[in-house]
Amino acid sequence: MCKFCWILSTLLLMAIGTMAYLFVVKGSVAASDDGRTAVILSAGERDLVLTEMRGFLESVQAITMGVVNKDMKGIYENAHKVGMVNAGDVPASLMGKLPLEFKKLGMATHKAFDELALEAQDIGDPQIVLSKLGKLMNNCTTCHAAYKLDTERTKER
């Protein structure tokens, strides 16, 4: 193969590699005053993430009451709706702005809710449900300790 072709393909591969790194691994991030990593999103994207978060909290509340009332059906429904079925609505443009670690923690949380739903559906031991809930909430606290959301500055003024 000609030397020029080699150089060209190497440059192309490097460009693709850089794009993949920025899009898949790094995301759109900045340092912030409180030491957490700020994920920079548009106002609409931030609303979408925060809406999903409030859904998480509502399910945690409902599952806790489900354990108290031994209501396995209620636990199943509330865990299932924030499981993987709920993870597919994220647009690719938003995915590209989330750092890899953020995406992993988010996916792990949806999956953990699915496992909790399965437990409620199968044996349905309230103590196991509670233990699974406590463990999966480590994802909530780990992610909250590491990341915050910020909105893109518009070029007004």
- List contacts with ligand HEC (CB under 6 A): 50, 53-54, 56-57, 60, 102, 105-106, 109, 137, 139-140, 143-144, 147-149
**CA–CA dist 9, 128 (Å, integer):** 54
Residue 108 CB, shortest distance to ligand HEC, in Å, is 7
> Which CB sits closer to ligand HEC, 20 or 50?
50
> Which CB sits closer to ligand HEC, 17 or 152?
152
Residue 14 CB, shortest distance to ligand HEC, in Å, is 30
Residue 20 CB, shortest distance to ligand HEC, in Å, is 21
> Which CB sits closer to ligand HEC, 13 or 144?
144
Place of tokens 């072709």: 5
> Which CB sits closer to ligand HEC, 129 or 143?
143
Q: Which long-range contacts (CB under 8 A, 24 or more apart) does 63-69 make?
A: 63/116, 63/129, 63/133, 64/130, 64/133, 66/120, 66/129, 67/126, 67/129, 67/130, 67/133
